[in-house]
A and B are shown apart, each in its own frame.
Chain A
């Protein structure tokens, strides 16, 4: 395929993916916004006022970046895993497989679709958060790069889950038993400096900690982790997950008989 044809093919997958979640916005955009609004009300306003400051900020101001990132992570992952598994389940992945689309474009199309949903939900949650707090931005470039790259990491992970999934149960196991615990323990609600040394060390094994903290740095200018290690971890995950996704598609695992 020529470069122009490849661009058209990529654009086609992206439009298809965006239309897919936009058509069912009541299922894809609204629920995470409502959930996060409840977090803002309960943890931010009601309980947060009792907690006091965290790292020199009001508790609600401190948790907002983490909650936005949580919504982005969950939705980037959920979009790709459900869309890709749906394509397999209903066999319309075959529409792509019989075409000259190279595998890297299939990955790029689905992942960009996942990023689009992650950012849409993230933006909606950000707008709602402004009802509860005066959101400040210290470094817009960090905010944008971290949110896009993190979204890409989880979109790739969702794609790999979708390739392996053999039933609808398989697409909810990772979000429930891996993603949610890692997100909750990834410094969304607290600074790890509150933890004993041992648990601080354990927390540093959690990649989400790096993403949440770098994102928070972009807003508040404070972080438990340096920006360099955060970008490095995200970069390593993107390269590793992309390589593995390519390997799976090249071998035809789960998609070709």
Chain B
């Protein structure tokens, strides 16, 4: 099996003694869409920083498509495109120039740089803004500019550190579509995000980092089967004064028109509707109380904290 990224026993101790990574090991297959999840300060950005050479590691090894970042850093860097969490471009530079310069740092001639800038700025809806200084862009545009910049040297591995933070839902969804297309075209993508719905929709494999350790690494499908139960919110057509005692115990009344049902993973949901129908209670709509991945993430990080 070919790996786009192999990280082994990665450790990072900062100068102040804080141990940000305590032996992180990850493997990302070529062509994968991979989620790296963790709460703030868990070590996601440090891991990404080391992979992309912005942070020096204390110990461990990183290989990008087989190229060790210590021994063959130039080859490894060519294969990585990074979209960092913080805006890190010169806000006084015109948008197009930011891309052309980035291409130049990779040894791509200016003419080709301009052609690629046109291609990616058009794809990401920024072509009209090409002559604007970057500071004039909105937050969502700045995020898309960083994606365009990361792609200008055509990397095989794209790493996105919270790319949709602070972006409105419409732009977020268009970015999802774009990332899907990139992945389908063969680019391996690693994504960190706080929107777990985003990770669940986009990613096939996942690692959860907590306090500098990988607490879980598996396929999204496999991971979600680990959920013991799900909580559903039921909206009722008519107000209900009190919950009939003969209804199943898994139901709880939140207010006059809202019920919550805790359903075990192995249970069918049909019995619930049958019971509600028998009592003449009509359900208008039903939704998950929390995103499934979010529930799992909370369970796992809580378990790690307790340990």
Contacts and interface: CB of A to CB of B under 8 A. Distances in A.
Interface string B69-113: 000011101101010101111111100011011101111111000
B74 A100 contact: yes
B101 A12 contact: yes
Contacts of B55: 256-257
B54 interface: yes
Given A98-B53, A256-B54, A257-B55, A91 B88 contact: yes
A96 B74 CA distance: 12
Interface residues of A, number: 31
A53 interface: no
A50 interface: no
A205 interface: no
B56 interface: yes
Nearest to B82: A98
Interface in A203-257: 252, 256-257
Nearest to A251: B56
A229 B82 CA distance: 49
Contacts of A99: 77, 102, 105-106, 153
Contact of A11 (B49, B87, B104): B104
A145 interface: no
B56 A252 contact: yes
A101 B84 contact: no
A180 interface: no
A8 B56 contact: no
Contacts of B77: 98-100
A12 B114 CA distance: 13
A254 B75 CA distance: 24
A100 B73 contact: yes
Classify the secondary structure of A's interface with B: helix
A19 B110 CA distance: 15
Contacts of B53: 97-98, 256
Interface string B153-189: 1000000000000000000000000000000000000
A92 B97 CA distance: 13
Interface in A60-103: 86-87, 90-92, 94-102
B6 interface: no
B14 interface: yes
A9 B105 contact: yes
B193 interface: no
B56 A95 contact: no
B104 A257 contact: no
A8 B107 contact: yes
Interface string B11-26: 0001000000000000
Contact of A257 (B54, B97, B108, B110): B54
A100 B78 contact: yes
B107 A5 contact: yes
B52 interface: yes
A23 B56 CA distance: 35
Contacts of A176: none
B117 to A, nearest CB: 13
Interface in A1-39: 1-2, 4-6, 8-9, 11-13, 15-16, 19, 23
A1 B14 contact: no
Interface in B107-159: 107-110, 149, 153
Interface in A139-176: none
B95 to A, nearest CB: 14
A206 B88 CA distance: 40
Contacts of B101: 12, 16, 95
Nearest to A14: B104
Contacts of B109: 8
Contacts of B86: 91
B14 A257 contact: yes
Q: Which 3 A-B pairs have the closest CB atoms?
A: A5-B107, A12-B104, A99-B105
5 contacts: A8-B109, A12-B104, A94-B54, A97-B53, A100-B107
